[in-house]
Amino acid sequence: MTWKVPLSLLPTYTSRAAQVLRLAVDSALAEYPRDATPQDLLRGLVREGRSRAALILRANGISEDAVNR
């Protein structure tokens, strides 16, 4: 299940931040409907891949597999 929300509904977020939030919610909904957790947000950051936060996580060995453990 993919969560689609127009960026116009998230005007205070950058496009990358909005993408991370979408990916986090997708992650939360992948198993069963539940609230997004910090783990889902980390997974969203890692999946987005281009943000400064994603680069820092990757440089420190944090992959999606590591977040899933």
CATH number for the domain that contains residue 42:
1.10.1780.10
**Locate tokens 């990358």: which residue?**
16
Within a domain: residue 3?
A: no
Instruction: Provide the residue range defining the domain that includes 53.
Output: 13-68
Within a domain: residue 57?
A: yes
Task: Read off the pLDDT of each residue in 44-52 and give the average, rounded to a whole number.
Answer: 85
Give the pLDDT band of residue 7 (cuts 50, 70, 90): low
What pLDDT is attached to residue 57?
86
Global confidence as pTM: 0.63
Report the distance separating Cα 38 and Cα 24, nearest Å. 9
Q: Compute how many other C-beta atoms are within 10 angstroms of the C-beta atom of residue 2.
A: 9
Rounded to the nearest 10 degrees, the angle between the axes of helix 52-59 and helix 38-48 is 100
Within a domain: residue 36?
A: yes
Count of domains for the chain: 1
Within a domain: residue 1?
A: no
Task: Read off the pLDDT of each residue in 42-56 and give the average, rounded to a whole number.
Answer: 86
Within a domain: residue 8?
A: no
Within a domain: residue 35?
A: yes
- Per-residue pLDDT of 19-36, as tens digits, reads 888 888 887 777 766 677
* The residue count for the chain: 69
